[in-house]
Amino acid sequence: MSPASAKALRLDDVGAASKRHEVYGVTRIRVGPLALPFPGNFLFLKYIPPVKRWGPYRELGAAEWERILTALEGARAAMTVGVTAGWVETDGRIVPFPRKFPDAAAVIRRGVERGLLEVANHGYTHCVVDGGRFRPRLFSGNRSEHREFHDWLPAEVHREHIGRAQGILQDFLGSPVVAAGGLRYLSCLDPGRWGAVEGLTVVGDADVVAIHDRDLVLRGLGVLQGLLGGPRGDPFVTVREVGAGLEEAKQ
């Protein structure tokens, strides 16, 4: 059992095609005390730094995952990886993560087997697929379409997506998977239905250091090494371990 002070480290958006399709630009530019309107979503502008805000960026590769495992092992730490189980292609087809990125997925599975990684359910699509709403637009950003669990979608859709993601990830790993990341979107779903999904409602932001794969792709693995070597008490643990600790403390 981990000490009560241990925090979880969570890396979100692995396998999420929002990194490809979520494109929007800055719409305000600061000039002294003023925030002036700027047409950052106009055509190509939103693809160019520093106007570009989120995507596109690439998926982490197998060699990077190997280095992540080495860094975790060296720090005697573990990390929860929020995997979006279905990659949404531009035409709307959804490809399971282990099939879309087999090399990275194989290293992740080895990390799980070695106790360095835990895979968490970070949704099925990470975006609204219907009507091609996830696709980049010419004259506006599409940030709001890159949340999966909108409250204007029927609860059945949420349940179906969580269920499909659980199916893909549990088949891939051969073991139960926790749901983490986007917790606030799931909290409306009657979490009791997901009996097998541990820690769904109990692990809050205060107990988790959350980063995105984007941080590592754009800024390098030094971001992770900085966190692992930073001035903290205990090494990072998984979301599941923090959840179990909190549940135990309640009893």
Name the residues that contact Zn ion, by CB under 5 A. Answer: 12-13
Closer residue to Zn ion (CB): 46 or 146: 146
Closer residue to Zn ion (CB): 13 or 145: 13
Closer residue to Zn ion (CB): 199 or 245: 199
Closer residue to Zn ion (CB): 13 or 118: 13
Closer residue to Zn ion (CB): 21 or 244: 21
Residues 6+ away with beta carbon under 8 Å from 230: none
In angstroms, give the least distance from the CB of 30 to Zn ion: 27
Q: What share of the chain is helix, strand, coil (3-state, %, to 5)?
A: 40, 15, 45
Give me the phi and psi of 230, to 5 degrees please. Answer: -70, 170
In angstroms, give the least distance from the CB of 28 to Zn ion: 24
Biggest alpha carbon distance in the chain? 56
Instruction: Using alpha carbons, select from 136, 134, 154 the residue that is nearest to residue 88.
Output: 134
Closer residue to Zn ion (CB): 111 or 182: 182
- 5-36 in b/e form (b: 16+ CB < 10 A) is ebbbbbbbbbbbbbbbbbbbbbbeeeeeeeee
In angstroms, give the least distance from the CB of 126 to Zn ion: 6
Are 180 and 82 spatial neighbours (Cβ–Cβ below 8 Å)?
A: yes
Cα torsion through 130, 131, 132, 136, rounded to 10:
-120
In angstroms, give the least distance from the CB of 146 to Zn ion: 8
In angstroms, give the least distance from the CB of 101 to Zn ion: 16
In angstroms, give the least distance from the CB of 97 to Zn ion: 14
Q: What angle do CA 129, 131, 136 make, to 5 degrees?
A: 75
In angstroms, give the least distance from the CB of 5 to Zn ion: 27
d(CA 38, CA 35): 9
Closer residue to Zn ion (CB): 14 or 75: 14
Residue 62, burial from CB neighbour count under 10 angstroms (0-12, 13-18, 19+) = middle
